[in-house]
Amino acid sequence: MNKEKNKKILFIKRILNTFFSPKIHGHFKNGKGFEVDTKPSRLRLIYHKITSRIWFFPSMYLSKFWVGAEKDGDRGYTTFMEIDDKALFLIENLQGLIDKKNMPILDIGCNVGRFLNVLAKDGCTNLTGIDINKLAINDSYNVYPELIDKADMQCTTIQEFLSSSKDNAFNLIYTYGATVELVHPTFPLVKHLARVSKRYVCLFISENQSYVRFWEIEFKRQRFELLIKAPYCYRNHSGNCDQVLYIFRKSSA
């Protein structure tokens, strides 16, 4: 019963986030709309918690939990260094999209850079990684020396980076969630991903996060075609299909 109820709630969220969220985040605050309030007062914290649940009101609240993450712990970067089967699932699909080792590639929510490290070792030389966790970004070159001279590691929000990026800046944009699923639906996320990507957008994300959407519909609006939709459970034969790999390609027409 709870599982069915949860499905209905997620379906309603998808409808609200895809069709009824005004894409206004960042339009009215003169470049300050993407700041994360890391030390809010008690009253301000209540305000953030309430507004983060409203689909039509811009919010950065969920970002605060990652900004000051320590080295260890649930959100620490040491938790996100293992190349397990899920990571391999993404890597194998990324490698199938890379036809030139110098093509510009963007990792959204790269943390300390485990996927970029694999790509660098595979010969890729034009890599960019962004993450909101300053410690992870600062330590990335020490943890993964292979990234030196091959990857530009930047501490920034997804919203700020995409908003300021040039059209067709990257041949391939990818992410391993939870990342884009935590971006409030009032930010025109898919529009910016489609604008900044020259060819591919690859999302390996959870379908059970705060800001779920109808990803296929949003990318189709931006003239991207769906190449692959593969729930991870198809690979590991588990009953949980919350994690799904999407690969979209920019239409030539």
Residue with tokens 């060819």: 199
**The pLDDT of residue 55:** 86
Residue 189 has pLDDT above 90, yes or no: yes
- Whether the CB-CB separation of 33 and 26 falls below 8 Å is answered with yes
Tokens of 4: 């069915």
Residue 39 has pLDDT above 90, yes or no: no
Confidence of residue 101 (pLDDT cuts 50, 70, 90): very high
pLDDT single digits (tens) 42-81: 998 999 999 899 988 999 998 888 888 889 988 889 999 9
Backbone φ and ψ of 59, nearest 5°: -150, 145
Residue 32 has pLDDT above 90, yes or no: no
Residue 240 has pLDDT above 90, yes or no: no
- Among 113, 146, 143, smallest CA distance to 128 is for 113
Of 86-90, 132-136, 209-213, 215-219, where does mean pLDDT reach its minimum?
Answer: 209-213
Residue 253 has pLDDT above 70, yes or no: no
Give Rg (Cα) of the chain. Answer: 18
Alpha helices (H) in the chain, listed in sequence order: 2-19, 42-51, 64-67, 85-95, 114-121, 134-143, 158-164, 189-196, 215-221, 233-236
Query: CA 220, CA 59: separation in Å to the nearest integer?
Result: 25
Provide the angle, in degrees to the nearest 10, between the axes of the packed helices 114-121 and 85-95.
50
- Omega before 69 within 30 of 0, i.e. cis: no
**The pLDDT of residue 29:** 56
3-state SS, residue 151 = strand
Percent share of the chain, pLDDT over 70: 94
Cβ–Cβ contacts within 10 Å for residue 227, how many? Answer: 13
Of 24-33, 75-84, 237-246, where does mean pLDDT reach its minimum?
Answer: 24-33
Helices and strands per DSSP (H, E), number in the chain: 10, 7
Q: Which CATH class is domain 2-250?
A: alpha beta
- Among 20, 90, 60, smallest CA distance to 232 is for 90
Across all residues in the chain, what is the average pLDDT?
A: 92
Question: Domain coordinates of the chain in residue numbers?
Answer: 2-250
Residue 115 has pLDDT above 90, yes or no: yes
Query: CA 180, CA 63: separation in Å to the nearest integer?
Result: 11
